[in-house]
Amino acid sequence: MIPPDPPSPNPTLEDLIYDWNRAEAPPSLPRGRVTFDDETLRDGLQSASVSDPPLEDKLRILHLMEDLGIDSADLGLPAAGPRAFADTLALVRETVHGAMTLRPNAAARTMIKDVEPIADISQKAGCAVEVAMFVGSSPIRFYTESWTLDRLLRMTEEAVGFAVDHGLPVMFVTEDTTRATPETIRALYLAAIRSGARRITVADTVGHVVPAGVEAVVRFVRDIADHCGEDVLLDWHGHNDRGLAVVNALTAAFCGADQVHGTALGVGERCGNAAMDQLLVNFKLMGLVQNDLGRLADYCETAAGSMHVEIPDNYPVIGRDAFRTATGVHAAAVIKAASRGEAWLKDMIYSSVPASLIGRDQIIEIGPMSGLSNVTYWLTNHGYAAEPALAAKIFAEAKKAKSVLTEREILDVVERHGAATEAPHGGGLGGSG
């Protein structure tokens, strides 16, 4: 085996990481670009565990969506009741008054009585509100509801036609598409397109498919859209019941979906939806979008706080532990990388996601799995001389502990030792807090 060439004296990130994600060819999207539809304020609120936020919180979340470059958002189901109508109207008005680039949409069953409140909101707000109109499509739903295809085709033609006649763009969603027959899917989409729908959505409503199934159904529906004689866009809406929502959304985009749906932190009914934050990060890291993700943590934390949802410590990118280590070998590598003076190096040595992407930094803690390098770094970073005797005392304390030492626990050792502070060295790596 021929050993690899040593890196150049001033290597780049590409010199130091062999990217198997790009081993055959750089990732590309067949339709050129992908857009994002945020379902946090509608589908996300269908979770049985969340609290419906007050309007002021919804407005903050809406502005954070805009800051992140999210293209459109489902702002409610106005037919659900007076509060749902009022909040949706206020949110749509905010997109107008704030001159947002984000396009508003609102959900409706495929019934004229559900579309009427959206038409009313559109008139009051002075902008076109896309109707995200959904109808069940799988045999199990037909059997349970005693539906016939003829009945649903009539409902589709009536409801889509009503929306179009009132100047409303239509996103036609077949619920449970991933368990529906090809014949039913084709009939429903073609009826919606003939009636004026110009966006159709494949919905993995119960998180049924694996990526191979995503590819099959998206390519099938893409073919319908491409040969219907109209300019029709295709969306993917997936749930997380098998833990595959994010990878399925990525697969859908690579197979021809124009837009993917998600929610902040993946909140939603049962196991939730695709996590919008994870979708944005992955598309960004693949070089497929240019969205500025500097407000991503604010978006997730605002959504979590307003809906009374806990962010797990190990949640990707946003969680407390995402860029935090107390393991000796890992910390030593991060410290050595930081000592070279290249921010990108310490950001990537033990991370596939650079903390700087979302305005964060690598954090080194002290715990039972730490080495002396953790202790030395913590002391210098907090303005103390890294005396061997003091470092040994903290190290011994860490080895007795069952978890990472808190800052207070470390300072207790420092104070008992009588150490004096010096000017902190900084260096961009945090410590126990």
Provide the residue ranges of all domains of the chain, joining segments of one domain with +: 25-307, 324-417
Query: Is there a contact between 217 and 177 (Cβ–Cβ < 8 Å)?
Result: yes
Query: Is there a contact between 267 and 47 (Cβ–Cβ < 8 Å)?
Result: yes
**Which residues 6+ apart lie within 8 Å of 146 measured at CB?**
none
Question: Tens-of-pLDDT digits for all 433 residues of the chain?
Answer: 455 565 667 888 889 999 898 888 878 999 999 999 999 999 999 999 999 999 999 999 999 999 999 999 999 999 999 999 999 999 999 999 999 999 999 999 999 999 999 999 999 999 999 999 999 999 999 999 999 999 999 999 999 999 999 999 999 999 999 999 999 999 999 999 999 999 999 999 999 999 999 999 999 999 999 999 999 999 999 999 999 999 999 999 999 999 999 999 999 999 999 999 999 999 999 999 999 999 999 999 999 999 999 999 999 999 999 999 999 899 899 889 988 888 899 999 999 999 999 999 999 999 999 999 999 989 988 899 989 999 999 999 999 999 999 999 999 999 998 876 654 444 445 555 5
Instruction: Tell me how many degrees the CA angle 127-131-135 measures, rounded to the nearest 5.
Output: 175
Query: Is there a contact between 432 and 410 (Cβ–Cβ < 8 Å)?
Result: yes
How is residue 309 written in tokens?
Answer: 């949802």
- Write out the H or E segment, with its range, that includes residue 28: none
pTM of the model: 0.93
pLDDT tens digits for range 370-381:
999 999 989 988
Three-state helix/strand/coil letters over 222-236: HHHHHCCCCCCEEEE
153 residue type, one letter: L
Q: What is the pLDDT of residue 10?
A: 83
Instruction: Tell me how many degrees the CA angle 37-38-42 measures, rounded to the nearest 5.
Output: 125
Pairing of strands 199-204, 233-238: parallel
**Which residues 6+ apart lie within 8 Å of 339 measured at CB?**
none
Q: What is the pLDDT of residue 23?
A: 82
Q: Which residue has the tokens 């909140």?
A: 267
Query: Is there a contact between 68 and 298 (Cβ–Cβ < 8 Å)?
Result: no
Q: Which residue has the tokens 């837009």?
A: 259
**Which residues 6+ apart lie within 8 Å of 150 measured at CB?**
none
Q: Is 113 exposed, middle or buried (0-12, 13-18, 19+ CB in 10 A)?
A: exposed
Q: Is 183 exposed, middle or buried (0-12, 13-18, 19+ CB in 10 A)?
A: exposed
As a residue count, the chain comes to 433
How is residue 32 written in tokens?
Answer: 């050129």
pLDDT tens digits for range 176-195:
999 999 999 999 999 999 99
DSSP string, 333-399: HHHHHHHTT-HHHHHHTT-SS-GGGGT---EE---TT--HHHHHHHHHHTTB---HHHHHHHHHHHH
**Which residues 6+ apart lie within 8 Å of 24 measured at CB?**
none
Answer whether CATH 3.40.309.10 is correct for domain 25-307: no
pLDDT tens digits for range 219-269:
999 999 999 999 999 999 999 999 999 999 999 999 999 999 999 999 999
Query: Is there a contact between 407 and 433 (Cβ–Cβ < 8 Å)?
Result: yes
Instruction: Tell me how many degrees the CA angle 210-212-216 measures, rounded to the nearest 5.
Output: 115
